[in-house]
Structure 1
């Protein structure tokens, strides 16, 4: 009969490599390449390095993702950046992620809502928790399906407007 201590030591021996691999992945550098289609600004940034988010890189991403109508800059949720970077990685990252909409000020969101039933009154864009994107060379259907498979937030499919909405709110789709 195997002793309890020996059994625990054996179990830890099997679990340790998996835990170390997960920890290494969690602390691996994270990069994102974006182009804002309204301003033409491009940015490739390593926004997570050494197990920490990089404040200067986050600020640069916030600026590129600002409300292009008002110029207002708002902090974007790091989890959203992780989601978009992960999504780009899953589809093979053939080019920079094209951003149709990042942060939206309440005034911009209200104006858009007044002209479109497709804009939520309490949009997560106003909290820096949503982006409308596309990736050159990747079909919108594949982008949508990959985002849904990640299961990390909301996914809206807008083929007529040529973008996919992703957010870090509740998991849902439309």
Structure 2
């Protein structure tokens, strides 16, 4: 009896990978990667959507490789729920989210408020709020708006900023943090 799956990964290796997820989630950016250097080579993301009722808890990177099937699941999960449009999410954003989650040492999944936004959805939101950028990185699949019940906006923003790998927006009145893989910058209060 062989202990290998059809794509060449051993069952024992996968079990070890799942066991290791409690202590591992490293981002691709060099600054953020340095935070978790030596902690292994597995990355995990945990989220749920109050809008769709869906959730995802998955390992998306093993031993230096993104898992294509899982990336497709993440793309679909982070779709524009208003139009059901999906795009290839920039995995650097997912890496920042995972690294921030790891730094906060929480088991609670993120609540995803907004991932990808179609241009039509972005324009509609922009017409209702000054806080929506005309050329939002959400339209490129490079941003996410997230919330945690167990952590404050300030704590979440501090963890994301510690990665020094993209934009971090604090929206305290709306109780969420924006994380993106664009230029390093921060805003909000």
Q: Which moved more, 1:147-156 or 1:80-89?
A: 147-156
- Alignment partner of 1:162 is 2:179: no
Q: Is the contact made by 1:37 and 1:98 (CA closer than 8 Å) also made in structure 2?
A: yes
Q: SS where residue 84 of structure 1 aligns? A: helix
Gaps of at least 5 residues in structure 1 are 1-20
Could you list the per-position Cα deviations for residues 115-153 of structure 1 after superposition, in whole angstroms to 9, with x for gaps in the alignment? 111000000000000000012211111111121222111
Of residues 28, 31, 34, the one that matches 2:41 is: 28
* Mapped pair 1:37 → 2:50: yes
The TM-score with structure 1 as length reference comes to 0.83
2:102 aligned residue (86, 89, 93): 89
Aligned residue number for residue 8 of structure 2: none
Does residue 48 of structure 1 match 2:61? Answer: yes
Q: Which runs of 5+ in 2 are unaligned?
A: 1-35
Cα root mean square deviation, aligned? 1.4
1:120-131 equivalence runs, <5 A: 120-131=133-144
For the pair 1:98 / 2:111, whether they are aligned, the reply is: yes
Instruction: Please name the residue that 2:89 is paired with.
Output: 76
- State the TM-score, normalized to the length of structure 2: 0.77
Report if aligned partners of 1:94, 1:135 keep a CA contact under 8 Å in 2: no
Q: Is the aligned partner of 1:61 residue 2:74?
A: yes
CA distance in 2, matches of 1:75, 1:93: 27
Residue 171 (structure 1) aligned with residue 184 (structure 2): yes
8 Å contact from structure 1 (residues 94, 136) kept in 2: no
> 4+ residue stretches of structure 1 with deviation over 3 A?
none
Match of 1:141 among 131, 142, 154: 154
Q: Does 1:108 align with 2:143?
A: no
